[in-house]
Each structure stands twice: as C-alpha cells, then as structure tokens.
Chains A and B, each alone.
Chain A
C-alpha cells in the first residue's frame, strides 16, 4: 500500500441523519457509486484527506524510483537495462498522473512536494530499505509492486473521479512491472548459478516483512480507516488486502523454490487462507518516523534534485517570458 495511515480529521463517522443537506446529497452519491468530480461540492475533510492520500501515493512513486535507480547503472544485460529503465520511467509517470489528479482538488504540486522535503508529508515505508543485490530488482517488482497492485486495483473504483481515472491508467501500465520482477527471479532460480540463487533468497529474506508492512497496521480500531471506507477512497481494510497479497504470493514463492523468513506461515484449511507470524510493528513505526535505513538518503536525494535544479526551472521561465515579450512586440 503506497498510502499509509492517512489522517482524515474524523473522530466518529456521521450518519446521514446527522449531516446537512449538501453533505447528505454528497454521501448519497457516494453510496450510489456516483463519482465525485472536481467542481462538485465536497466536505472539506474529504478534500483534505484525498490531497493527503493522493500526494502520499505520488510521493511514493517518485521516491520509489531511487531504490531501482541504484541498480539501473549496473543492470547485467541490455534487455534488463531497458526493462528497468522503462519501469523507473513509468514510476515517474505514475507520480505525475497522481499529482495531476491531486491538483484538480486545488492543491499545488510544488507545495505538496515541499511538504515531503520538509518531512511534513509521508511516503511508503518500503522505499526506505536499501537494494543490495541485483535480485532486489526482481523482488521489488514482484513483492513491492505486487503489494501495490493489490492496493491499487480496488482504488480504480474509488469515489473521486480523477483519482479513479489515474488509478485505471496506473494499473493498466503496471501490469508489466510485477511480471518483469518475477521473471528476473525465476530466471535466476532456473538458469542461474548457486551465487545467483543465494541472491534471490537473500532479497526475499530482506524484503518480505517490509512488503507486508506496506499495507499498514491492522485498522479495525481506526476511525481514519472507517471514514475513508465510508467515503470510498479506501475500499478494503488493511488486513483484508494483506491477506489477499499473502494468499496470492505464496504459491508463486513455491514455484520459485524459495522460502519466506516466517516459521509460522502455513495454509489454514479451515479459514481458506494462509496463517502468518506476527509483524514487528515497532520497526514500521520507526521507519515511518524517519529512522529507517535509507530515509535520510532518499529525502536528501529528492531535496537536492529540486534545489540543484532550481536554476534550470528559473531559466526556462525567464526564457519563456522573453519569448513572449518578443512575440508581443512583433
């Protein structure tokens, strides 16, 4: 899940009877699966929550380029290089689609990015882990993109029109990402040397738990989650999505011939789902607080990119203004 713990500003959910006429009309539209569009009336908290959620999602796409950027200069073949470049480029593109959807809510992209750079906005915890061998490029595609897809598929039906349309586009394009990642791993396991197989297992060992944390803590108790579900900007609970991810991933893991670092993982015939061990949430909260292995580096890289590029963006504006004046004078 690329958006974690989005604050909704809600303590308790209002019933239709407690709402004013505008809000009731709004909620009834949502209940009837009618999309909310930019110029429609919407509660202030709905707007703010969406801005937080979509920007967090967009920030995650942009920061998410960095762990892969770490290997794009070392990709082992021309084919793998092309695939990885295309995937990273898609991530920048998806960030831009999402910022574009966010801007229809009246938010400003540059301002929201500034919030990220000053530590006031979050992005997915997963991108604060380092990529330490080439198999990580496979594991990121398979597990991280896989977890993201599980989250994003239901968001195609989210209540806000521009967000929903952006997600449809993202999902369509992202289908190759997970397959690309899995194929990297499968090739290494089937045709690789022992050293390569060890790389694959090592990558899975490091990324398994952080991937499960992407869905966020259990949200049974959270009023934020309940409100987001009522607004249909979130369509399933964190636990439901996490279970769905595990259930679909384990058979793929077995096909690889690898294991996950969880002794408690086993199929539960009665539930029809896999049981799994306890997630170390202290680690998740530490990473979210900025204490993950790469938080500082990731933010510093993004901050530097924008700061170092300031003169370029200013020059482009100055040049456009000059040209406009020349045309006006002509």
Chain B
C-alpha cells in the first residue's frame, strides 16, 4: 500500500491552452501535491497553472465503451467547418 495518495497532475502552459494531463505525484494532501507537481513538472518553465486531482476521483471511459461513446460522432461531418462548401467570393469565414 502506498503511504501517500496518488494525485493526477494537469498543467496549463503559457500559451493559453487547456490544462493538459502530464503525470502523477504522491502527496499527503492537495496542497503538497501542488508543490510536488511544481517541483517535478515545471522545472523548465512549462506552466502557469496547476490542477491536482486524487487519482481515485477520476472516472474514465472503459475500453469496451469506445464504440458506443465515440463512433457515433464519426459520421457527424456537419459538425466540421470543412463540410460547408461556399463560393470563393465569400472569402475567409
């Protein structure tokens, strides 16, 4: 058994992108998890914001759910901009 809790770490880089999962750390509480994540995952100026979440609190999709969850979006091409053909005169839209 682990002595400390496993936390998943999400970091937002400088460029305004979403927080991105980078890995995990062990810590006794969220506060320590943030510091450990800072010391481990931002040594090279990688981040401006950190989220920490106890790994046990994350619910993930199971692999056998892949088809019902994600395949239905495959044929919804009308959700993508490239589906709509417009005359060149319209210019950039």
Indicate whether B40 reaches chain A with its CB closer than 8 angstroms: yes
Residues of B within 8 A of A100 (CB): 23-25
Task: Assess whether B63 is interfacial by the CB under 8 Å rule.
Answer: yes
Query: Can you list 5 A-B pairs with a CB-CB distance of less than 8 A?
Result: A96-B23, A108-B1, A109-B26, A111-B1, A317-B28
Report B40-63 residues with CB < 8 Å from chain A CB.
Answer: 40, 43-44, 60-63
The reply to whether A173 and B44 form a contact with Cβ atoms under 8 Å apart is: yes
CB distance from A175 to the nearest CB of B (A): 12
- Central interface residue in B1, B28, B43, by most chain A CB within 10 Å: B28
B4 interface residue per 8 A CB criterion: yes
Q: Are A103 and B24 in contact (CB under 8 A)?
A: yes
Of A90, A103, A110, A173, the contact of B3 (CB 8 Å cutoff): A110
6 more contacts with CB within 8 A, not counting A90-B43, A313-B4, are: A39-B63, A41-B63, A103-B6, A110-B1, A316-B4, A317-B28
Q: For residue A316, which residues in chain B have a CB less than 8 angstroms away from its CB?
A: 4, 28, 32
Q: Counting CB contacts under 8 A, is A314 at the interface?
A: yes
Secondary structure of the B contact surface, majority rule: loop
Inter-chain contacts of B60 with A (CB < 8 A): 39
User: Is there a chain A Cβ closer than 8 Å to B73's Cβ?
Assistant: no
- What band does the interface of chain A fall in when counting residues whose beta carbon is under 8 Å from B? 20 to 34
Contact among A40, A90, A166, A319 for B28, CB-based, below 8 A: A319
**A-binding residues in B (CB < 8 A):** 1-4, 6, 23-26, 28-29, 32, 40, 43-44, 60-63
Contact with B along A27-66 (1 / 0, CB 8 A): 0000000000101110000000000000000000000000
User: Is A39 a contact partner of B61 (Cβ separation < 8 A)?
Assistant: yes
B52 to chain A, nearest CB (A): 13
Known: A40-B63, A89-B43, A316-B32. A96 touches B3 (CB 8 A): no
Distance (whole angstroms) from the CB of B23 to the closest CB of chain A: 4
Report yes or no: A110 in contact with B2, Cβ–Cβ below 8 A.
Answer: yes
Interfacial chain A residues near B23, Cβ < 8 Å: 96-97, 100-101, 166
- Cβ contacts under 8 Å, A90 to chain B: 43
Instruction: Provide the residues of chain B in CB contact with A101, threshold 8 Å.
Output: 23
Centre residue among A39, A108, A173, A324 by max chain B CB count within 10 A: A39
B72 to nearest A CB, angstroms?
20
Closest to B26 in A: A109
B3 adjacent to A314 (CB under 8 Å) = yes
Distance to closest chain B CB from A149 (angstroms): 18
Task: Give the chain B neighbours of A108 by CB distance below 8 A.
Answer: 1-2
B3 contact set on A, CB distance < 8 A: 110, 313-314, 317
Chain B residues in 8 Å Cβ range of A296: none
Residues of B within 8 Å of A96, CB to CB, are 23, 25, 40
Alpha-carbon distance A101/B9, docked complex (angstroms): 13
**Chain B hits for A313, CB < 8 A:** 3-4
Residues of A within 8 A of B40 (CB): 93, 96-97
| Chain A to chain B: the 4 pairs with minimum beta-carbon distance, closest first | A320-B28, A100-B23, A320-B29, A100-B24
Q: Which residues of A contact B43 (CB under 8 A)?
A: 89-90, 93
By a CB distance below 8 angstroms, the chain A residues around B28 are 316-317, 319-320
CA distance in complex: A45, B29 (Å): 34
